[in-house]
């Protein structure tokens, strides 16, 4: 794609230092017109800082930014926008109380009547509809944003960026909360935009997507350029090697036994589970002791609902659950916790941890009684336990008094885990165990799951990451629209088999 000799964007020798941390050190990035450049690296590698400098949020300590050969200083997000740099955030920044057209043209509404600046509603909707059509979106510009799915909202944000005249589009983990088909759609749109000459900087942890879509991949590690891969060089192994600076051969720890039979299937049994979302469907599951049961399916297939019912967050309409032969009655998380059944939720920052609490306070919260005598909590005992847990599972933080908000996603997830490990789990339910977590921490969490199962803990792992679910599970049960469409043994594992069941296709090997 390097047809034009002058790059659209050239960042040279960019350095940024925060108190105590060198976030970026002499980083270079070139992007040509109509090119998709994947920016990859572990969490904390400096991707976001680099993009925030481009987006005008941070100013660099050193280095230059050139747009189409001209030196520019980007002093604010607004200045970035005026220069044609648009940001699609991981967490959407649309207003869900306004309709699609109003979102697209926010701050740029077509107006009439001179200084009165009344919004020209006719033109607003006409232009918005035209834009949506151009992007191939079949929705009315009068729809309220709040009524759209997350994926559609994201597409509206892309439409906004395009209509604002974006020449460079920064997409930060755009597919992290999309279903497979929505991801496909998004990738198609990215390809269309590229064909129209828009340059795209694509940040993603999903290496498959990068492989499919990127013309080049720029890898950052510890705030420096770690390397660059051309289209034909982009592949999982070199990418991972550059990201972590070493080979990750033992990425997934293989199950201790291969294809085991029914003998271990009687530890946790779930019968006749009905959830509020799918009241007409009945779910039955068995998980053996020390087994990892993967749960695959598309987003919205009802897997999280099962997990939430199991943990008592949302009470099940009906359920017969027993653990080790003992029937359980779970109507609240407290009931589940009392039985040693814990959930590591999907939404870490709102459900898994309290971000303003310290690591210590987060870890000890569910079992605070253990650190109290005569009703008074002993911070020293808490700290000792928290430090022990952090060492065991390698939480990287200077002190357990650090606020959880300041940790990387991987370390936050480890804190959630530490919280439950301090209470000797019998069953752990992971809802998306490694979403938004860098490769290194992922490997650690997989190893940890294996270590736990070898100690007899049963694990249910809900995952939308195909590679992950195939890699860590002993068995995979696949859901589609609230019901289990099939369960696969290890010998039956394949991407195709899972996808067939997940899309509601005919099950060839139903339990």
- The residues of the shown chain that bind other proteins, judged by CB under 8 A, are 18-21, 23, 43-44, 46, 48-49, 52, 55-57, 77-78, 81, 87, 89-91, 93, 107, 172, 311, 313, 332-334, 336-338, 343, 345, 350-357, 361, 365-366, 368-369, 372, 375-377, 405-406, 408-409, 419
**Cα–Cα distance, 8 to 4 (Å, whole number):** 9
Distance, CA of 13 to CA of 60 (rounded, Å) = 10
Tell me the closest approach of the beta carbon of residue 468 to other proteins, in angstroms.
21
Name the minimum Å distance from CB 347 to other proteins. Answer: 8
Backbone angles phi, psi at 365, to 5 degrees: -55, -50
Instruction: Return d(Cα 156, Cα 168) in angstroms, integer.
Output: 17
Spatial separation of the C-alpha atoms in residues 493 and 475, rounded to whole Å: 8
Taking the complex as a whole, the smallest distance from the CB of residue 435 to other proteins amounts, in Å, to 14
Give 281 or 408: the residue with its C-beta nearer to other proteins.
408
Question: Minimum distance between the CB of residue 334 and other proteins, rounded to whole angstroms?
Answer: 4
Helix or strand run (H / E) with residue 389: helix 379-393
Of 55 and 433, the one with the shorter C-beta distance to other proteins is 55
d(CA 447, CA 237): 19
Nearer to other proteins, 25 or 49 (CB): 49
Cβ 303 vs Cβ 297: under 8 Å: yes
Nearer to other proteins, 135 or 377 (CB): 377
C-beta of 175 vs 485, nearer to other proteins: 175
Residue with Cβ nearer other proteins (49 or 179): 49
Tell me, rounded to whole angstroms, the distance of Cα 324 from its chain centroid.
34
Q: How far is the CB of 337 from other proteins (least distance, A)?
A: 4
Q: Where are the alpha helices (DSSP H) in 196-338?
A: 207-213, 236-244, 303-311, 333-338
Q: To the nearest whole angstrom, how small is the minimum distance from the Cβ of residue 136 to other proteins?
A: 25
d(CA 47, CA 315): 41
Indicate the residue among 103 and 199 with the shorter CB distance to other proteins: 103
- 416: tokens are 């959630």
Give me the least distance between CB of 431 and other proteins, in Å please.
Answer: 11
Q: Which is nearer to other proteins, 131 or 341 (CB)?
A: 341
Min dist. Cβ of residue 369 to other proteins (A): 6
Q: For tokens 């920064």, name the residue.
A: 170
Contact 273, 283 (CB under 8 A): yes
Cβ 470 to other proteins shortest distance, Å: 28
Integer angstrom CA distances of residue 78 from 57, 81, 85, 418, 507:
10, 5, 9, 42, 53
Residue with tokens 């020390």: 290
User: Which one, 377 or 466, has the nearer CB to other proteins?
Assistant: 377
Q: Of 401, 406, 376, which Cα lies nearest the Cα of 390?
A: 401
Residues 311/343, Cβ–Cβ less than 8 Å = yes
Cβ closest to other proteins, residue 317 vs residue 405: 405
Residue 391's alpha-carbon distances to 398, 418, 441, in angstroms, are 11, 10, 14
CB nearer to other proteins: pick between 289 and 442:
442
Q: How far is the CB of 453 from other proteins (least distance, A)?
A: 23
In the complex, the smallest distance separating the C-beta of residue 90 from other proteins, rounded to whole angstroms, is 5
Any residues with CB less than 8 A from the CB of 160 and at least 6 apart, and which? 86, 94, 103, 104, 105, 106
SS3 79: helix
Least Å distance between CB 171 and other proteins?
11
Question: Strand 85-88's sheet: what is its strand order?
Answer: 85-88, 168-172, 199-203, 36-40, 216-221, 224-230
CB 36 within 8 A of CB 213: yes
CA Rg, the chain, in Å?
25
């Amino acid at each position: 794609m390097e047809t034009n000799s002058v790059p659209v964007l050239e960042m040279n020798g960019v350095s940024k230092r925060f108190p105590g941390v060198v976030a970026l050190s002499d980083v270079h990035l070139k992007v040509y017109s109509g090119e998709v450049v994947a920016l990859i690296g572990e969490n904390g590698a400096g991707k976001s800082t680099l993009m925030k400098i481009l987006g005008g949020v941070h100013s660099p300590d050193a280095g230059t930014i050139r747009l189409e050969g001209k030196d520019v200083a980007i002093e604010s997000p607004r200045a970035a926008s005026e220069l044609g740099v648009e940001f699609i955030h991981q967490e959407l920044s649309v207003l869900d109380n306004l309709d699609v057209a109003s979102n697209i043209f926010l701050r740029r509404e077509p107006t009439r009547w001179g200084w009165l600046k009344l919004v020209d509603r006719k033109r607003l909707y006409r232009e918005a509809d035209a834009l949506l059509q151009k992007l191939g979106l079949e929705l009315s510009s009068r729809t309220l944003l709040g009524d759209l799915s997350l994926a559609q909202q994201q597409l509206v944000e892309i439409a906004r960026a395009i209509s604002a005249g974006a020449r460079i589009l920064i997409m930060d983990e755009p597919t992290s909360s999309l279903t497979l088909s929505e991801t496909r759609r998004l990738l198609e749109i990215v390809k269309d935009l590229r064909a129209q000459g828009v340059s795209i900087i694509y940040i993603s942890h999903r290496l498959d997507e990068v492989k499919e879509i990127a013309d080049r991949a720029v890898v950052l590690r510890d705030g420096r350029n770690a390397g660059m891969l051309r289209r034909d060089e982009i592949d999982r192994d070199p990418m991972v090697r550059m990201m972590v600076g070493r080979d990750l051969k033992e990425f997934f720890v293989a199950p201790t036994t291969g294809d085991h039979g029914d003998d271990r299937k009687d530890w946790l049994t779930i019968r006749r589970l009905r959830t509020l979302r799918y009241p007409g469907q009945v779910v039955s599951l068995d998980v053996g002791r020390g087994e990892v049961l993967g749960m695959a399916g598309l987003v919205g297939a009802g897997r999280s609902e099962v997990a939430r019912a199991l943990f008592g967050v949302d009470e099940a309409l009906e359920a017969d659950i027993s653990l080790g032969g003992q029937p359980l009655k779970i109507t609240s998380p407290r009931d589940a916790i009392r039985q040693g059944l814990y959930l590591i939720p999907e939404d870490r920052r709102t459900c898994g941890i309290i971000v303003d609490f310290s690591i210590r306070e987060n870890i000890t919260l569910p079992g605070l009684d253990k650190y109290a005598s005569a009703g008074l909590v002993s911070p020293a005992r808490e700290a000792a336990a928290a430090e022990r847990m952090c060492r065991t599972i390698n939480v990287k933080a200077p002190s357990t008094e650090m606020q959880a908000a300041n940790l990387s996603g991987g370390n936050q997830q480890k804190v959630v885990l530490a919280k439950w490990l301090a209470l000797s789990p019998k069953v752990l339910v992971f809802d998306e165990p490694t979403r938004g977590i860098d490769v290194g921490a992922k490997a650690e969490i997989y190893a940890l799951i294996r270590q736990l199962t070898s100690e007899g803990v049963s694990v249910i792992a809900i995952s939308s990451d195909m590679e992950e679910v195939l890699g860590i599970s002993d068995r995979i049960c696949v859901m589609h629209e609230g019901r289990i469409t099939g369960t696969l043994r290890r010998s039956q594992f394949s991407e195709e088999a899972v996808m067939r069941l997940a899309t509601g296709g005919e099950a060839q090997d139903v339990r």
